[in-house]
Amino acid sequence: MASSLNSPAVIKAQAFNRIPCEVDLKDLKENKKLFSDEQVAAIIEAHRNGQIKLGRTTKEDLNKILKTNNINLPDVQFSIECDENNTISGIYKGVKHDKQIGEGEFGSVKHLQDIQTGVWVDVLKVMKDSDSIESEVYILRRNQQLKGYSTRINSKGMERGEIAMPRAEGISLYKFLRSGKKMPVARWLDLGIAMLEAYETMHQEYQTLHCDIKPENMNYDPISGKVTPVDHGNSAVVKNVTLGREFCQPRGTRGYMAPESNEKGFYYNEKTEVYGLGQSLKEVFNNAQITKRS
Ligand SMILES: Nc1ncnc2c1ncn2[C@@H]1O[C@H](COP(=O)(O)OP(=O)(O)OP(=O)(O)O)[C@@H](O)[C@H]1O
Ligand SMILES: [Mg+2]
């Protein structure tokens, strides 16, 4: 017997927030949040009582604050951050390049979840030192993407630069290319075009040279097809990118740096970016196997 299309829907569509792929689902509670409803209520209450202050509260300190209420915190490593608008975010100890963060080589990127709504709002980039923070802060602020930054001394007495910024859609293009995902050739071509457009926007609209173009430094959302450049640690603003004479220090990542970077009298400009883009496009089209005929 055919089931009636008029019967009440048995499957209810549930709109839920997209969870970043770096977040391990077993680290989340049933409500898809880092904290259970009971824990969230206890944290909000402690904030109302003035026990949780503006800025960072570590898991250890939060444990001490909530101990009197017999609230057990999750096993996962985290801290919480309260901003000027009294929004409290859980900082999740994320995964970078498929490794747990801990001590990364250059720094680490962590995900922030609004503990009340459960929405993954921003990311927090924690750098190994505070030297490289300036250019990234400058570019993000200029592009109206800076959510906050600070330098702080960590528990080991080392100075770290920290920058909060919007979470780019999708996943690292580097990871996507290595995931072995199959797509029709036309989608790979669309991806290539989206890459070119993303950097053209950076050049034309934001007057910014990225200076470290490679698949690790762009996110790709296979659903929307959007490409977003990330990592502005090397980026530079130029007054007029079509001038063609900008700055002369070679910069970028070996393998993606234009060969002319090593030449005498070299000036970095938007044309220099084409090499890194070309190398990245080569990786994309290798995946698409466009040249393979059988
Ligand atoms: N705004 C963002 N939204 C989402 N993911 C991001 C964002 N910024 C960085 N990431 C992810 O984190 C990874 C590391 O960040 P980033 O490249 O900025 O750090 P890094 O210190 O330059 O590290 P590395 O030089 O080893 O790439 C990126 O490859 C990207 O996958
Ligand atoms: Mg990077």
Q: What is the pLDDT of residue 165?
A: 94
Half-sphere exposure of 102 (CA within 13 A, CB side): 3
Mean pLDDT of 91-95: 76
Res. 4 pLDDT band, cuts 50 70 90: low
10 Å Cβ neighbour count for 90? 25
Q: Rounded to an integer, what distance in angstroms lies between the CA atom of residue 178 and that of residue 50?
A: 47
Give DSSP secondary structure letters for 128-166: SSSTTHHHHHHHHHHTT---EEEEEE-TTS-EEEEEEEE
* H-only helix segments in 72-226: 133-142, 173-178, 185-204
**Summary mean pLDDT of the chain:** 84
Partnered with residue 127 across adjacent β-strands are: 107, 161
**Contact yes or no for 209/236 (Cβ under 8 A):** yes
* Among 9-23, 41-55, 173-187, the least confident range: 9-23
Percent of the chain with pLDDT over 70: 84
Q: Which atom of ligand 1 is nearest to the CA of 167?
A: 3
The CB of 231 under 6 Å from ligand 1? The reply is yes
Q: Rounded to an integer, what distance in angstroms lies between the CA atom of residue 75 and that of residue 59?
A: 10
191: its two tokens: 């991806």
Strands (E), the chain: 55-58, 78-82, 88-92, 95-96, 99-100, 107-114, 120-127, 148-153, 159-166, 171-172, 208-209, 218-220, 227-229, 236-237
Q: Name the residue with higher pLDDT: 292 or 174.
A: 174
202-232 pLDDT, tens digit per residue, is 998 888 899 999 999 999 999 999 999 999 9
Q: What is the pLDDT of residue 258?
A: 94
Q: Rounded to an integer, what distance in angstroms lies between the CA atom of residue 266 and that of residue 245?
A: 9
Q: What is the DSSP letter of 268?
A: B
Q: Probe ligand 1: pick from 217, 235, 257, 280, max atoms within 8 Å of CB?
A: 217
Ordered strands of the 88-92 beta sheet: 55-58, 78-82, 88-92, 107-114, 120-127, 159-166, 148-153
Q: Name the residue with higher pLDDT: 124 or 70.
A: 124
Mean pLDDT of 127-137: 78
Torsion sign over Cα 207, 128, 145, 175: positive
Closest residue CA from atom 27 of ligand 1: 216
Ligand number with the minimum distance to the CA of 22: 1
CB environment 202-241: b (16+ within 10 A), e (fewer): bbeebbbbbbbbbbbbbbbbeeeebbbbbbbbbbbebeeb
Res. 103 pLDDT band, cuts 50 70 90: very low
The structural domains of the chain, ordered by start, are: 25-166 (no CATH), 171-288 (1.10.510.10)
Res. 5 pLDDT band, cuts 50 70 90: low
Q: Rounded to an integer, what distance in angstroms lies between the CA atom of residue 58 and that of residue 94?
A: 16
Does the pLDDT at position 127 exceed 60? yes
Q: Probe ligand 1: pick from 113, 214, 230, 234, max atoms within 8 Å of CB?
A: 230
Mean pLDDT of 173-193: 93
Mean pLDDT of 69-95: 85
**What pTM, to 2 d.p., does this model score?**
0.84
Q: What is the pLDDT of residue 74?
A: 80
Does the pLDDT at position 130 exceed 90? no
The CB of 113 under 6 Å from ligand 1? The reply is no
237-285 pLDDT, tens digit per residue, is 876 555 455 666 778 899 999 999 888 888 888 889 999 999 999 999 9
The CA 214 to ligand 1 mean position distance, Å, reads 11
157: its two tokens: 């007495």
The CB of 147 under 6 Å from ligand 1? The reply is no
Mean pLDDT of 140-164: 86
The CB of 21 under 6 Å from ligand 1? The reply is no
The CA 202 to ligand 1 mean position distance, Å, reads 17
Tokens 């400009």 correspond to 269
Q: Rounded to an integer, what distance in angstroms lies between the CA atom of residue 154 and that of residue 50?
A: 24
CB environment 48-72: b (16+ within 10 A), e (fewer): eeebbeeeebebeebeebbeeeebe
106-117 pLDDT, tens digit per residue, is 678 889 999 999
The CA 44 to ligand 1 mean position distance, Å, reads 31
The CA 54 to ligand 1 mean position distance, Å, reads 26
The CB of 23 under 6 Å from ligand 1? The reply is no
Does the pLDDT at position 119 exceed 70? yes
Q: What is the DSSP letter of 182?
A: -
Q: Which atom of ligand 1 is nearest to the CA of 230?
A: 8
Q: Which atom of ligand 1 is nearest to the CA of 128?
A: 21
Percent of the chain with pLDDT over 90: 46
32: its two tokens: 């898809």
